[in-house]
Homo-oligomer: A and B are copies of this chain.
Amino acid sequence: MKSTILETGEPIGGGGDGGRAAEASLHGEILIRLRDHVVEGNIPDGGRVPERQLCELFGISRTPLREALKVLAAEGLIELLPNRGARVRALSERDIEELFDVMGGLESLAGRLACENVSDAEIAEIERLHYEMYGFYLRSDMHNYFLINQRIHERIVAASRNETLRATYATFAGRIRRVRYSANFARKRARWAEAMREHEMILDALRRRAASELADILFHHLRNKRTAAVEQMGAPAEIMTPPSQL
């Protein structure tokens, strides 16, 4: 008996979970590693996902790898062409609009449910993060601003007390991760200030536990992010070159 495999009987994939469980059973590990491999942009958009190479990269046979590919296809991260293998799914502008809107719907829901369930301590924690983020905004520290921003949204989702929602949110977040990353670099000060104001409204509505209002604000917040992201796409100039792929 080795040290890597866990011996618990914990179920895998129980809740369409965003890939949290399933570390056991080779296939599960490969799924996670392959997902990361794709999400992190090691393969260019629309590029082929060569089974053979990945097999030796991960040191496994094709069977578990192909199982993972099927799952990633179901998640929408890659697409499978009959007899022509897997490709990294290139997101069209429309795809990105749709994804941001769905994210908006999910965050909107999260806010609504959070108003029902959030504790005072959680609000206090979100407030703390908010002011921390505000500090980075004042200092124009984009990177740390973005990090805290993410955490605030995650806290709201967590406060919704809905594990199904959390897992679904995680899946979609992974799907647009690359885009969000680059959209992040749209250093438009105007949009940034607007986002900051929206975050103040979010916090205010959450404090008052105004569910419908928070739902509205969050949807529009994401809608504005969508606009910013799409504008950024229009004039990319220099696309982030993936860190070289063997």
- Tell me the dominant secondary structure on chain A's binding face: helix
A1-48 contacts to B (CB < 8 Å): 9-17, 22, 24-25, 27
| Residue of B with least CB distance to A106 | B105
Identify which of A107-115, A134-142, A146-154 touches chain B.
Answer: A107-115
Tell whether, in the assembled complex, residue A75 and residue B109 are in contact, meaning their CB atoms are under 8 Å apart: no
Listed residue (A80, A105, A168) with the most chain B CB atoms within 10 angstroms of its CB: A105
- Name the interface size band of chain A: 35 or more
Give the complex CA separation of A29 and B82 in angstroms: 12
> Is A123 in the interface zone, CB < 8 Å from B?
no
Given known pairs A66-B67, A98-B164, A162-B102, the reply for A73 and B112 (CB within 8 Å) is no
Q: Is A145 an interface residue (CB 8 A)?
A: no
Contact of A105 among B15, B27, B105 (CB under 8 A): B105
* Chain B residues near A12 (CB-CB < 8 A): 73, 79-82
Q: How far is the CA of A68 from the CA of B71 in the complex (A)?
A: 9
Please, could you name 18 A-B residue pairs with CB atoms under 8 Å apart, sorted by A? A9-B84, A11-B80, A13-B73, A13-B76, A14-B79, A22-B80, A24-B82, A70-B71, A74-B74, A74-B75, A76-B164, A98-B164, A105-B105, A105-B112, A108-B108, A108-B215, A109-B109, A215-B215
Q: Interface residues, chain A, CB within 8 Å of chain B?
A: 9-17, 22, 24-25, 27, 63, 66-68, 70-71, 73-76, 78-84, 87, 89, 95, 98-99, 101-102, 104-106, 108-109, 112-113, 162-165, 168, 175, 212, 215-216, 219
